[in-house]
Amino acid sequence: MTAKPRILTGDTPTSTGLHLGHYVGSLENRLALQEQYDSYFLIANVHAFTTMADKPEQIRANTIGIIKDWLAVGLDPDRSTFVLQSEIPAIAELTFFFAMLIPFNKVMRNPTLKTEIETKGLGDSYPFGFPMYAVGQCADILAFRPELVPVGEDQEAHIEMCRDVALKFNQQYCGVGNRVPAAEHVQAGGLFPIPAAKVGRVARLAGIDGTNKMSKSLGNAIFLYDSAKDVQKKLNKITTGRQSPNEPGDGNNVLMQYVDAFIAGGDPARAAEIKRRYVAGDNLGDGHVKAELGEAINRLLEPMRARRATLDGPAGDQRVMEVIAQGVKRANVVAEETLTLAKKAMKADFVHRTIG
Ligand code: ATP
Ligand code: MG
């Protein structure tokens, strides 16, 4: 066992790959943190069934695609642990126990779930398992007892729920007093550290529709594996309502958000200049901004595309299978340990079992 503090974060395989929102919202943080932290990166393939239960082949292909993107971005399966949710039984078991610690109405009031129901058009016919995923996510996280969870802003409500579960568990089953501050729960005998969300450089990147969060499921994403041509095509589709290069532009519209996200890091002076001229209506058209954004985004994506290309085809799929097997083995050691300790605290430990 390593002494490094742990982080856990993950992605749901609802699409064949990851997008720019993932990169600035979470992947960048993962890359930076995988050095100092014992990192767990989880593919929530069980949760993909909440909206895609009729498409199992697609979920499988998406799982493989996202792991290829992780490798292409630079997440390292030797230093970090890649966790495939469906192969970690302790997560499912903890989900059931944790469901007893969260009031039903609180789950149903979770703002992230509400937004998802609306934007994904789930109406009132979504399965029982859909709201259940919010409880499951508490188990995804707590199974690994991390201190930090690098996520986008949309996940903050979920992390808050996860903190509530950890606090309640520690108080109810580990004898931690109600007044013990969250940071001191483990010293006070609690099983779970109370995890904190770590939101990325860009908390919420808008999609090319200009309004919603960039999202795999909403058809408004620029994917990390999109070709240079497709990136430019997608940028060109953005509409801001601006009529001419001399019309003062909105400094917070989606194009300006992208300037902040993709130009300001490498060339802050140029980003400031673009924003100044855009807002002033100083002869800077949307088309010009889109072309500069295309160049900057493609510079960022090119090395990832090149690495992703080396994982194409059956040899790449085989590599992913190896990475999954290696990660699942390591993840089950930690998750089983957590489950054993949790069951002990809950007086529900009767027989010792081993997995793997
Ligand atoms: P879905 O549409 O299926 O919910 P998604 O695009 O929201 O997919 P997730 O797998 O749900 O992607 O999210 C993975 C991680 O990326 C989460 O930490 C989430 O907060 C972050 N993330 C997703 N989209 C964005 C975004 N547009 N801006 C910043 N962070 C994001
Ligand atoms: Mg999401």
The DSSP secondary-structure symbol of 213 reads B
Q: What pLDDT score does 148 carry?
A: 94
Question: Across the 356 residues of the chain, what is the mean pLDDT of every consecutive 10-residue run?
Answer: 83 94 92 93 97 97 97 96 98 98 95 91 93 97 96 91 98 98 98 94 94 90 96 97 96 97 95 97 97 98 96 95 98 98 98 87
Mention every residue, 6+ apart, whose C-beta is less than 8 A from residue 33.
7, 39, 148, 150, 198
Point out the ligand nearest to the CA of residue 204: 1
SS3 for 211?
coil
> Domain 228-309 belongs to what topology?
Tyrosyl-Transfer RNA Synthetase (1.10.240)
Tokens coding 2: 């390593």
Domain ranges of the chain: 6-204+314-345, 228-309
- CB atoms inside a 10 Å sphere around CB 151: 22
Quick one: which atom of ligand 1 is closest to the CA of 204? 28
Report the residue among 14, 20, 22, 213 best suited for mutation to probe ligand 1: largest number of ligand atoms under 8 A from its CB: 22
Instruction: Give the model's pLDDT for residue 120.
Output: 86
Residue carrying structure tokens 């890649």: 82
**How much is the pLDDT for 212?**
93
Per-residue confidence (pLDDT) for residue 2, from 0 to 100? 52
Ligand 1 atom closest to the CA of 44, numbered from 1: 10
CA distance 285 to 308: 34
User: What is the fold, at CATH topology level, of the domain defined by 6-204+314-345?
Assistant: Rossmann fold (3.40.50)
DSSP 34-62: HHHSEEEEEE-HHHHHHHHTT-HHHHHHH
Residues 6+ away with beta carbon under 8 Å from 187: none
- For 219-304, strand residue ranges (E) read none
Give the closest residue (by CA) to ligand 1 atom 7.
Answer: 215
Which pLDDT belongs to residue 114? 92
